């Protein structure tokens, strides 16, 4: 009887918050530790008639990360609405890059016990974060300050 050899392949989705002073699609602050729901506006709350404007610094940081990770930079990219309901997602969708990411096919070389191993990077894309649920003393609340924070 033949034996089958398996090779484990592990994929990770890693989010990194970009160190911008404002959110991905509006001018609201990303400062940490402010009172709940004090860093929001019609854009990051998804109110009717509000229009998002991309954060240029977030694109610059994404480009630097893509180059540092040896990625192919896309000649064209776009954003999509990733629709789902969650209490801390006021628009019921997240603006994210899906089928045409900012960059792809990169790598990171790491040393493991003196041997260089290449870790493949499938894609780097920009998206906005959701808010957060706060649970305390038997009750729950929603803090939307993080809503719209730029993620890579």
pLDDT tens by residue, 5-27:
999 988 899 999 999 999 999 99
Residue with tokens 């006021």: 90
Residue 115 CA to its chain's centroid (Å): 31
Domain boundaries defined on the chain: 42-151
Please give the share of the chain, as a percent, with pLDDT higher than 70.
100
What SS3 class is residue 49? coil
CA-nearest of 23, 36, 1, 11 to 94 is 23
* Distance, CA of 105 to CA of 70 (rounded, Å): 8
pLDDT band at 48; cut points 50, 70, 90: very high
* Distance, CA of 12 to CA of 148 (rounded, Å): 22
């Amino acid at each position: 009887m033949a034996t089958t050899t398996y090779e484990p392949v592990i994929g990770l989705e890693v989010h990194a918050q970009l160190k911008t002073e404002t959110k991905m699609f509006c001018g609201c602050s990303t400062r940490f530790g402010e009172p709940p729901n004090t860093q929001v506006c019609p854009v990051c709350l998804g109110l009717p008639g509000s229009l998002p404007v991309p954060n240029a610094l977030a694109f610059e940081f994404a480009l630097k990360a893509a180059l540092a990770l040896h990625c192919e930079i896309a000649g064209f990219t776009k954003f999509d609405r990733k629709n789902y309901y969650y209490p801390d997602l006021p628009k019921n969708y997240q603006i994210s890059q899906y089928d045409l990411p900012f960059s792809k096919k990169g790598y990171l070389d790491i040393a493991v016990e003196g041997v260089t191993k290449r870790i493949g990077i499938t894609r780097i894309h920009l998206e906005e974060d959701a808010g957060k649920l706060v649970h305390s003393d038997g009750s729950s609340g929603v803090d939307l300050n993080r809503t719209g924070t730029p993620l890579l």
